[in-house]
């Protein structure tokens, strides 16, 4: 096609022009949004739209729920829950009047009254209610009322046991659901595992079976089963669309790295980088296993206080992830040392970090429906690339200089671990969250360190296609995919949700263009 031939003929020159870059970006993003709107019109996601309506109008949704629950058409067990919860904010006498005016049976009204009197009375339930629950067989709904009472008193394990007894006596599905919900809320995995084999609970726990079998392996300290269940859990419930978005985002950074190092013409180098990405993806499984060891066996878990939070972020998250990424980089060291190419070593190490980020994206994108895709693409993804590139390159120097670079490696590894830990700490430690802008400062400093080394070791030759164009193209495609995906689900609201984050990341985009440092013209 003449148009395409003319486009590619002019591309080398155009790729160094600022107006061409931003016009290309706008065109790609607009195309992605347009495709998203087309899919939204043809096949809207009804479930997503309902959830969005609830988020937009929470008061209307609550009014509708309250209006529904205030009718006597609700089952008695649901009314017990409602009355027990209402007792926290309404006078018991008014609730007792409501019970008397209801259309339930006399026995049910009596149970409801005893439950409310128990809540008003104090630390122990009414003896008559306990007697009804302990009869053989128990009076229907008596144990359910006890469960609702214990929930109102916030004695959740007592409540769960009462709901279990109600389910066993009357086959009450709501009681089973209450027991399961409480055990999940309290992270009582041993109780959930026990319920897996009991009649009536299988369907309630089917979707979470992989998590429970993993927890069972941890409780039994069965490491072969822990490894198996960790891998299964890692890939359970992933949607193919989310996986595809994560892989495309990963390929965008892969293309950027290949172009930055001019590796496109070397098939052996590309193969080495692909292997590095796969090793990085494998390192996430090792990370999950290390988390299990540290948190479930050694008790070294996340803390909410300042010192404990900092210690966990640096000695836990930072050290754990950087050490394991470096460990999975080491199998490639013999090849890199033989080739004596520092640029290739830096990029291959960065590809290990990229693989880690791609695998991590699948989990994060799944939980956010890829709405945080642009943010993670520009920040967390390149953070992992830079961090692993720096320490991998430092380790390469140790071997290439016959151990003379050991001091450099030790200082670089320590710096990256601390930087990684602080980056996370300013995001997740409660006392540091107000200063979260320091995370971005740490990110920028680490990225500039990566670009500084890249600039020192790569040949300073004019590139036919600018690296700025490859970055613009990669970023635009990811933005177009994420915005298009969001719009396809919930229409214009997708832009409203993702758009502000994209605008807020403008400073990061400017940082990248400054770091790339190419002679981009404004005409």
Q: pLDDT digits over 351-406, tens only?
A: 999 999 999 998 888 777 777 888 888 888 999 999 999 999 999 999 999 888 89
d(CA 329, CA 519): 34
Neighbours of 381 (CB within 10 A): 25
**Same domain? 378 vs 441:** yes
- Which residues, 6+ apart, have CB-to-CB distance to 513 below 8 Å? 468, 471, 520
pLDDT of residue 60: 52
**Same domain? 114 vs 180:** yes
**Same domain? 201 vs 250:** no
d(CA 214, CA 377): 30
Question: Which letter does DSSP use for residue 126 in this model?
Answer: -
Residue 178: inside a domain: yes
**Same domain? 257 vs 405:** yes
**Same domain? 438 vs 299:** yes
pLDDT of residue 45: 62
Q: What is the pLDDT of residues 475-503, one digit of tens each?
A: 999 999 999 988 888 787 778 878 887 77
Question: 521 by DSSP, 3-state: which?
Answer: strand
- pTM, rounded to two decimals: 0.83
**Same domain? 149 vs 263:** no
Surface-to-core class of residue 189, CB atoms within 10 Å of its CB (0-12 exposed, 13-18 middle, 19+ buried) = middle
Find how far residue 406's CA is from the centre of its chain: 36
**Same domain? 367 vs 426:** yes
Residue 70's domain spans which residues?
A: 65-206
**What is the four-CA torsion angle of 289, 293, 295, 300, rounded to 10 degrees?**
-130
- In whole angstroms, how far apart are CA 136 and each of 6, 125, 158, 169, 442? 88, 19, 20, 9, 66
Residue 429: inside a domain: yes
Residue 252: inside a domain: yes
pLDDT of residue 71: 47
Closest CA to 156 of 146, 165, 166: 146
The token duo for 180 is 């399961």
Kindly report which listed range (122-126, 145-149, 300-304, 347-351) carries the lowest average pLDDT score: 122-126
**Same domain? 199 vs 250:** no
**What is the four-CA torsion angle of 142, 147, 149, 150, rounded to 10 degrees?**
140
**Same domain? 197 vs 260:** no
Neighbours of 159 (CB within 10 A): 22
**Same domain? 138 vs 85:** yes
Reported confidence tier of residue 3, pLDDT bands at 50, 70, 90: low
* Residue that is written with structure tokens 């996340």 in the block: 302
pLDDT at residue 186 tops 50? yes
Residue 440: inside a domain: yes
d(CA 330, CA 417): 18
**Same domain? 377 vs 285:** yes
Q: What is the pLDDT of residues 262-273, one digit of tens each?
A: 998 889 999 999
Q: What is the mean pLDDT of residues 229-238?
A: 86
d(CA 69, CA 305): 41
Number of domains the chain contains = 2
pLDDT of residue 269: 95
Higher pLDDT residue, 244 or 369? 244
Q: Which of 403, 428, 459 is the last residue of a domain?
A: 459
pLDDT at residue 244 tops 60? yes
**Same domain? 152 vs 254:** no
d(CA 394, CA 342): 10
Residue 320: inside a domain: yes
Neighbours of 501 (CB within 10 A): 15
């Amino acid at each position: 096609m003449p148009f395409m031939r003319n486009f590619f003929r002019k591309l080398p020159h155009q790729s160094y022009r600022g107006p061409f870059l931003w016009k290309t970006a706008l065109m790609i993003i607009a195309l992605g949004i347009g495709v998203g709107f087309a899919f939204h019109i043809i096949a809207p996601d009804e479930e997503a739209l309902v959830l969005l309506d609830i988020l937009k109008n929470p008061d209307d949704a609550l009014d509708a729920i309250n209006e529904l629950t205030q009718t006597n058409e609700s089952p008695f067990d649901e009314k017990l829950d409602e009355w027990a919860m209402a007792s926290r904010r309404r006078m018991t006498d008014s609730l007792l009047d409501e019970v008397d005016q209801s259309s339930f049976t006399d026995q049910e009204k009596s149970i409801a009254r005893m439950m409310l009197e128990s809540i008003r009375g104090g630390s122990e339930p009414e003896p008559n209610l306990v007697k009804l629950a302990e009869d053989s067989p128990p009076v229907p709904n008596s144990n359910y009322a006890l469960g609702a009472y214990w929930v109102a008193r916030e004695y959740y394990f007592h409540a769960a046991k009462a709901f279990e007894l109600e389910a066993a006596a009357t086959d009450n599905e709501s009681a089973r659901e209450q027991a399961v919900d409480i055990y999940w809320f309290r992270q009582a995995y041993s109780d959930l595992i026990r319920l897996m084999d009991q009649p009536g609970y299988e369907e309630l726990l089917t979707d979470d079976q992989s998590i429970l079998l993993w927890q069972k392996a941890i409780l039994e300290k069965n490491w072969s089963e822990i490894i198996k269940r960790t891998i299964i859990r890692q890939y359970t419930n992933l949607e193919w669309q989310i996986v595809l978005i994560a892989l495309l985002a990963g390929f965008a950074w892969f293309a950027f790295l290949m172009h930055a190092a001019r590796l496109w013409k070397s098939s052996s180098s590309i193969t080495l980088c692909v292997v590095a990405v796969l090793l990085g993806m494998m390192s996430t499984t090792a990370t999950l296993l290390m988390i299990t060891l540290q948190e479930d066996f050694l008790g070294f878990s996340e803390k909410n206080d300042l010192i404990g939070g900092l210690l966990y972020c640096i000695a836990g998250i930072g050290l754990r992830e950087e050490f394991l990424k470096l460990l999975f980089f080491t199998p490639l060291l013999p090849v890199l040392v033989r080739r004596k190419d520092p640029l290739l070593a830096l990029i291959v190490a960065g590809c290990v970090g990229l693989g880690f980020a791609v695998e991590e994206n699948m989990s994060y994108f799944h939980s956010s429906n890829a709405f945080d895709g642009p943010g993670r693409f520009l920040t967390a993804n390149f953070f992992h690339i830079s961090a692993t590139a720096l320490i991998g390159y430092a380790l390469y120097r140790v071997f290439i200089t016959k151990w003379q670079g050991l001091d450099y490696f030790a200082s670089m590894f320590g710096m990256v671990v601390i930087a990684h830990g602080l980056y996370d700490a300013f995001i997740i430690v409660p006392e540091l969250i107000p200063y979260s802008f320091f995370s971005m400062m740490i990110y920028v400093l680490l990225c500039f360190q990566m670009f500084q080394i890249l600039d020192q070791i790569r040949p300073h030759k004019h590139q036919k296609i600018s690296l700025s164009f490859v970055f613009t193209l990669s970023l635009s495609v990811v933005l177009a995919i994420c915005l298009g995906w969001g719009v396809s689900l919930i229409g214009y609201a997708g832009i409203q949700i993702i758009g502000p984050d994209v605008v807020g990341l403008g400073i990061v985009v400017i940082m990248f263009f400054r770091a790339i440092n190419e002679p981009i013209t404004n005409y």
